[in-house]
Chain A
Amino acid sequence: MTQIASHPLIEQWAEDFRSQPDLPGPEWLQQLRQSAAAEFISAGLPGRKTEAWKYTPLRILEQRAPAMSRKLTGDHSESDFPAPVISAEIPTIDGLNGCLPEQLPATPAGLELLTLEKGLVTCKEQFEKLIPAIETSGASRVFAALNTAFLQQGLVIRVGVNCDAGTLLLRWAFNEDGAKAIGNARIVILLEQGARLELVEQFDSVGDVAGTLNLVTQAELAEGSCLVHTRVMKESDEAVILTSTAVEQAAESSYQYSGFDLGGGLVRHEFSSRLAGPGASAGFDGAFVLDRKRHVDNHISVDHASAGCSSSQFFRGVLGGKSRGVFNGKALIRPGADGSSVRQSNANLLLSGLAEVDTKPELEIYADEVEASHGATVGQLDEEAVFYLRSRGLSDPMARRLLTAAFCHAVTDRLANRELAEQLSALVDSAMPKSMIGQETQE
């Protein structure tokens, strides 16, 4: 390594990289780690001049300077994990401080769970193409580069041809060992032809731990397969969660993401979906409910590379306190991706004069007969509706909370899993900001 790091934190991570013991893995992976390290060192931390990170400062990481976690496997005690958001009768995998267990739960036929280490052996040829496919160059991809440079553990989820694997729960938590560290994990999801999987990820710790998770998820959806992906962010204000999800979709496959960012101090989700085969569809739904100084950023990029594909983005944000929300939804309709349909919508409620939201839907269309709609709004509660509720006896804060929660229910209402929808509606309700305009002094 000869480059000079551009930033103290990058220098620290570069040092972490140089001093780490030799990691196992095939030759191509060793080289990939080296080149990813070179990339994060030369790119430096994204700053205000990095377009994709313009609204998401990383001060909290700079102050904390978390070291790269070296731990391969954790002793996972149930007491480190809050109750699951969905009934516990489903296979559950617990990741502690970014570290996934070696012992994986029993699964129904057709669903296979492997550690990343085993996956590198079992799915050798596939991984040799898939793992390096994640974009790691430039300042905007520093965390993906870090994830690759320190790649050593993770989870592989594989669902066989025409198999409905049901629901899988992945719980992420920090305990005190995770404070001041950054955990890197890689999830690989392989759905074979006609396969179906519902993956629910819960980010939630027992205590308020200043942990950092850098999670990269790669999904390959074969023809006609379906991945339903739900994330429930319930972390404390101390937690930093950075995720990057890349989905490669064959013909008629479907990816449906629903994210509920109800917690976390700094949360950034990046998605890139490539609709590579005709008739593929990708949906991104999200609700973020922010208070205090919390920050949530959703960056979505959908690439319509084939004809007759559809994508949608539907995000609702509620911001109180001095919080900040960022939504950037991009859809690219390439030449030849005729008959595509794209819908983008982001509506936000600002409950405080000090909260801020930056929203940017972007459409680039180079094909014919494309059906496209996009819209972004930032507003306040409808005072007519507030008065209507108050005239029936609800207090002003109750009325505002009810209306604000209802605004987010537009997202939970779209969930196909009704049990989860009910749970999440209740979670959304209880996540409503304490500070609401018009009653700041009353509570």
Chain B
Amino acid sequence: MLEIKNLHATVGGKPILKGLDLSIAAGEIHAIMGPNGAGKSTLGNVIAGRDGYEVTAGEVLYQGKNLLELEPEERACEGVFLAFQYPVEIPGVNNTYFLRAALNAQRKYRDQPELDSMQFLKLVREKLEILHISDDLLHRAVNEGFSGGEKKRNEIFQMAVLEPSLAILDETDSGLDIDALRLVAEGVNRLRSADRSMIVVTHYQRLLDYIIPDAVHVLSDGKIVASGDAQLALKLEDQGYSWLEDGGIEAVAG
């Protein structure tokens, strides 16, 4: 599904990713953890195609395609979805209008018929129900005046409607209280499926109490320095990230 090989990337000329390798199979959830500044968010932004992130070496293959050659919207149309760490407020653009335009742009790309507003509304109501989100979200401008929790839930809602095959959740847990965190995690779990892979980027282990990953990777100084199963996250929780510097990689099981 996703093959990242020897990825090097710079931001503003500064090397951030320094030879990252990652392989994710269809239907798997991989957690990326690591200290601040390790390059976690950079990874998501490089995959999504944000400006200002320059790939200097390596490749990102997604369903056999070279993702790095595609424009951000083409990546989205290929099924890549980035849930933003800081979702952008867009005054004046109605959430429903925006989401329908996005879905139809993706459907058009895939040679599927576009949905009219009735069909779209039906779809959207189903998704809202699954995620237990109130439909007043539909009438508001994109993220405008949303609380932190509402913004993150709106990201998950968009993901539910767009049905990506690869979703990257960039610190979706940051700034959420425990109730909001649980709601977001429940939403994510409902969207787990055999043909949808996810990368869950997080600084803290607590999100992984709710979203149980198939694999956990520790990112440090632009590389994956340790990989393991869900137990690795618990170890990190217990010991923090300082052991990385003590050359404790060998100590990690799995």
Contact = CB atoms under 8 A, between A and B. Distances in A.
A393 B108 CA distance: 10
Given A389-B98, A394-B105, A398-B105, A406 B76 contact: no
Contacts of A393: 73, 76-77, 102-103, 105-106, 109, 162
Given A388-B84, A402-B98, A395 B73 contact: yes
B118 interface: no
Contacts of A399: 73
Contact of B71 (A396, A405, A406): A396
B138 interface: no
Interface string A383-407: 1110111111111101100110111
Given A392-B102, A394-B73, A396-B73, A410 B162 contact: no
Given A392-B162, A403-B93, A384 B88 contact: yes
A141 interface: no
Contacts of A408: 92
B222 interface: no
Contacts of A398: 101, 105
B140 to A, nearest CB: 13
Interface in B191-217: none
Highest count of chain B CB atoms <10 Å: which of A392, A394, A406, A408: A392
A290 B73 CA distance: 27
B35 to A, nearest CB: 25
A389 B92 CA distance: 13
B72 A387 contact: yes
A304 interface: no
A389 B102 contact: yes
B121 interface: no
Nearest to B92: A406
Given A384-B88, A393-B109, A409-B92, 15 more contacts: A387-B50, A387-B51, A390-B72, A391-B50, A392-B102, A392-B158, A393-B76, A393-B102, A393-B103, A394-B73, A402-B101, A403-B90, A406-B90, A406-B141, A413-B92
Interface of B: 48-51, 71-73, 75-77, 81-82, 84, 87-88, 90-93, 98-99, 101-103, 105-106, 109, 141, 158, 162
12 contacts: A390-B71, A391-B75, A391-B76, A392-B99, A393-B162, A394-B101, A395-B105, A396-B71, A402-B93, A406-B93, A408-B92, A409-B92
